[in-house]
């Protein structure tokens, strides 16, 4: 009789422990997925459109984690570097 009671208590303890671990994992996931504060992207008056680098800087300033390096991502260059262009003339 006592063995059955002991076994059932052990199973309940095991269930409780596994459910608590699942709750901790889910709470951590919810905390990670919460919305972060937003910050307005500062637009340079000499530029017509905002660049992705400016957006990333605003996100980082607002507290979001940026996984990739700003300059290394997708080969973006800073505004001070000249761009390589090839101009092709159309003959008439």
pLDDT tens by residue, 50-91: 888 888 888 887 776 655 554 455 555 555 555 677 767 776
Under 8 Å CB-to-CB from 41, ≥6 apart: which residues?
50, 54, 55, 58
pTM of the complete model beyond 0.85: no
Q: What is the structure's pLDDT at 86?
A: 72
Q: Is residue 46 part of a domain?
A: yes
Q: What is the structure's pLDDT at 1?
A: 79
Q: What is the mean pLDDT of the chain?
A: 77
Same domain, 26 and 40: no
Q: Do residues 52 and 76 touch, judged by C-beta distance below 8 A?
A: yes
More confident residue, 24 or 53: 24
Q: Is residue 86 part of a domain?
A: no
Same domain, 40 and 59: yes
**Residue 41 Cα to chain centre, angstroms:** 18
d(CA 4, CA 8): 6
Q: Is residue 78 part of a domain?
A: no
Task: Please tell me the total count of domains within the chain.
Answer: 2
């Amino acid at each position: 009789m006592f063995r059955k009671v002991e076994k059932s208590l052990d199973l309940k303890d095991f269930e409780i422990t596994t459910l608590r671990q699942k709750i901790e994992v889910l709470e951590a996931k919810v905390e990670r997925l919460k919305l972060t504060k937003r910050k307005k992207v500062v637009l340079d008056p000499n530029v017509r459109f905002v660049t992705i680098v400016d957006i990333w800087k605003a996100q980082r300033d607002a507290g979001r984690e940026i996984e990739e390096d700003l300059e290394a991502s997708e080969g973006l260059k800073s505004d001070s570097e000249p761009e390589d262009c090839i101009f092709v003339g159309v003959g008439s």
